[in-house]
Amino acid sequence: MVANLHCKWEDKSRIDKNKMKIVLVEKRDGRCEKFDEKKAYDVFCRVGFNAHLKEKEAERLADKAMSDLRKFLKNKRKIKSSELFEQKIKILKKYNKEAAFLYETHRDIN
């Protein structure tokens, strides 16, 4: 658990919000909800902190990971949460293997 976590979320997408398509995430129980960029950024940032990155490093990790995730979701209308989870792991492995491991195994701990 990380104390005093202050990831600085800024909407860095250059997409006009009025024209942005909505990506739906299908949960394991069948419910669907809108993909939340802020939530995804927070996940990437928190896992960076848990991997012992400094605040700025964790934010850089989250920025890079979000850029990759936006590209992945660009042409999607709907995605299963399990596919999104796997994609986040793949992206994290590209930038920080320890963060990827922590994210991938966090479900086993909970």
pLDDT for the residue numbered 22 = 86
pLDDT, tens digit, 9 for 90 and up, residues 28-79: 999 999 999 999 999 999 999 999 999 999 999 999 999 999 999 999 999 9
* Residue at 4 is within a domain: no
The Cα–Cα gap between 39 and 23 comes to 14
Tally of structural domains, the chain: 1
* Residue at 15 is within a domain: no
Which pLDDT band, with edges at 50, 70 and 90, does 19 fall under? very low
- What range does the domain containing 60 cover? 24-109
pTM assigned to the model: 0.82
**Count of alpha carbons within 13 Å of 106, Cβ hemisphere only?**
17
* Residue at 28 is within a domain: yes
pLDDT, tens digit, 9 for 90 and up, residues 72-110: 999 999 999 999 999 999 999 999 999 999 999 987 554
More confident residue, 10 or 65: 65
Residue 35 burial (C-beta neighbours within 10 Å; 0-12, 13-18, 19+): middle
* Residue at 53 is within a domain: yes
